[in-house]
Amino acid sequence: MQEDYINITLADDDEDDRLFFTDAFDDIKITTRVKTFNDGVYLMDYLNSDDALLPNVLFLDLNMPRKSGLECLKEIKQNPKFKDIAIAIYSTSASEEDIENTFIQGANIYIKKPSDFKTLKKVLAEVVTINWQYHTNSMNKDNFLLRF
């Protein structure tokens, strides 16, 4: 039977951003389970472990020490084990180059981190709702591109 919640994972080295992110899901109607990691190395170690619970949507900050979001994205896209994960880039950068490049590398969603909490909640709610439609209707994720 279909599970009625969505697994969300975030890798971001900024503690405040992680906190806002987690709080933003509290009011969303779709039930979510949120897990966060402090950088790309911790994230990839977890995802590659045998008992990892793979997220439905993975949010990646681009600028992280040790391993950047882009490096994580490339690794994830090369491993068929991760093919069902929708990938959202979650970054302070709004450069057209970053946006187009991450989409080409296989990201599904690009979010420029909103500066206020209200907008953040709205954007994340929309991402989760649209992803839910792709998830529950077996829609083609290859064509799933979304930008905020």
Partner 1 sequence: MTLFFKFDFNAICQIVLEQILNDNNIKYKSVGFGEIEVLEKLSKEKQDQLQNALANYQIDIVENQKSILVQKIKDTIIDMVFNEDVVVNVKSSVYLAETLEHSYGYLSNLFSEVTYTSIENFIILQKIEFAKQLIIKQEFSLTEIAFRLNYSSVAHLSTQFKNTTGITPSAFQRIIAKRRALNQQNKTD
Using CB under 8 A, list all residues that contact partner 1.
1-2, 29-30, 78, 100, 103-106, 110, 129-130, 132-133, 136-140, 142-143, 145-148
Residue 15 CB, nearest distance to partner 1 (Å)?
28
**CA 93 to mean position of chain CA atoms:** 15
What's the closest the beta carbon of residue 6 comes to partner 1, in angstroms? 10
Strands 146-147 vs 109-112: parallel, antiparallel or unpaired: parallel
C-beta closer to partner 1: residue 18 or 62? 62
What whole-number distance in Å separates Cα of residue 21 and Cα of residue 1?
29
The CB-of-97 to partner 1 minimum distance in angstroms stands at 13
Minimum CB distance to partner 1 smaller for 33 or for 147:
147
Closest CA to 82 of 53, 113, 122, 114: 53
In the chain, the DSSP E strands lie at 5-11, 31-37, 57-60, 86-91, 109-112, 146-147
Query: In terms of CB distance, is 115 or 143 closer to partner 1?
Result: 143
Residue 30 CB coordination number (10 Å):
13
- Minimum distance between the CB of residue 36 and partner 1, rounded to whole angstroms? 23
Q: Which is nearer to partner 1, 15 or 129 (CB)?
A: 129
